Amino acid sequence: MTRRAVITGWGRCVPPVALTNADLERLCDTSDEWIVARTGISERRISHVEGTDLAELAARRALACAGLGAADLDLILVATCTPELLCPSVAAMVQHRLGAVNAAAFDLNAACSGFVYATANVTGMVQSGFVERVLVIGVEKLHVAMDYRDRSTCILFGDGAGAVVYEATDSGAGVLSVDLGADGSKGGTMVLQAMGTRGDPYGGRTPEETRLHFEGQAVFKIAVQGIAGSATRALERAGLGADDVDIVIPHQANGRIIESAARRLGVDSERVFVNIGQLGNTAAASIPMAISDAVDSGRVNPDDVVVLTAFGGGVTWGSIVMQWGDRTEPVGTHEGELPPTDATVFDLLESNLDFYAPLHADEPPAT
């Protein structure tokens, strides 16, 4: 039998503080109706801790779900475009916190496609026999780069983390095929210049170079074509078609993008998992968070054909076709939680709002 990487554990970490559409109405010229109609998002989460803290908790939950200890891991791979520090990597910090003394560790940045790119790396390493058990985490603290008076970007993005455990198997389940791609000539459509979210992420920087540059209409067109094309190629490589798919778990970029890409792919909406409404676009964290939600809500069954597909800055895209394993129930659970906070969402955004205020000095305040 072919040696493959199969998911055996899953977990997520959702920050407790929500930024609702009603909150955004107080910050910029927008409305709940306008946001929901264009994105499908009602709220997104703002983290009161560093992304590494989110990653650690999601990792502990995934390990408990798989019934593994940290010392069982051969590798920790973190997908992120908003690391706490550039060096040491988030993966190395998580490795230390978990006590994963036998694991190598590194970060990967393919923006919103990061989890798919990470899974592709794991697939090759498992097939080669280099690793047996790998922890893959997607984590983002995106609110640092959001100008909350710019409705074209701030309505979309949120913070969070998701994690999965991949193990080697010869059961026939696991990753069946991979498709990856990139087009650097279109990289200017999504640009994030700043690095490192720890402490004061705004110190010594200008608002212009810190906030996310995002060309929404251009991204929409590229994303729909990229996701549908990539998923189609991955299915063809697996010898499958759209009718064979039990569930698509896409990057939660935008409700309209997901709907359009699914139509182009030929998969009806009942077979597409969407959880963007309460979480927003969490970039590299969105697919592992969605996997966790999909499994826990009973949307994934043993032996299901699952398609993961994403599009991100760079620009990058990628898809994974896998056959789910024989288990959809966790072996165990981790009871830990994030430290509590009394901060309101506006407390958490205060430094952000002050930093970006000079860009909007001549504009009337939102009502």
Active site residue 281: yes
Catalytic residue among 21, 109, 121, 281: 281
Structure tokens at 54: 């989110």
Q: In whole angstroms, give the CA distance from residue 203 to residue 144.
A: 12
Given 65, 81, 251, 352, which residue is catalytic? 251
Among 112, 143, 254, 352, which one carries the catalytic annotation?
112
Distances (CA, A) of 334 to 153, 165, 343: 34, 14, 25
Catalytic status, residue 112: yes
Q: What is the 3-state secondary structure (H, E, C) of 36-83?
A: HHHHCCCEEEECCCCHHHHHHHHHHHHHHHHCCCHHHCCEEEEECCCC
Which residue is listed with tokens 């981790």?
Answer: 334
Put the strands of the sheet holding 247-250 in their side by side order. Answer: 174-182, 316-323, 305-312, 247-250
Rounded Cα distance, 126 and 249, in Å? 22
Which architecture, in CATH terms, is 4-328? 3-Layer(aba) Sandwich (3.40)
Question: Does 251 qualify as catalytic in the annotation?
Answer: yes
Q: 239 in the Ramachandran plot: left (φ > 0), alpha (ψ -120 to 50) or beta? A: left
Domain map (residue ranges) of the chain: 4-328
> Could you give the CA distance from residue 311 to residue 319 in angstroms, rounded to a whole number?
9
Owner of token pair 């697919």 = 287
- Residue 110 CA to residue 313 CA, distance in Å, equals 7
Query: Which residues face 273 on adjacent strands?
Result: none
Spans of the chain, pLDDT less than 50: none
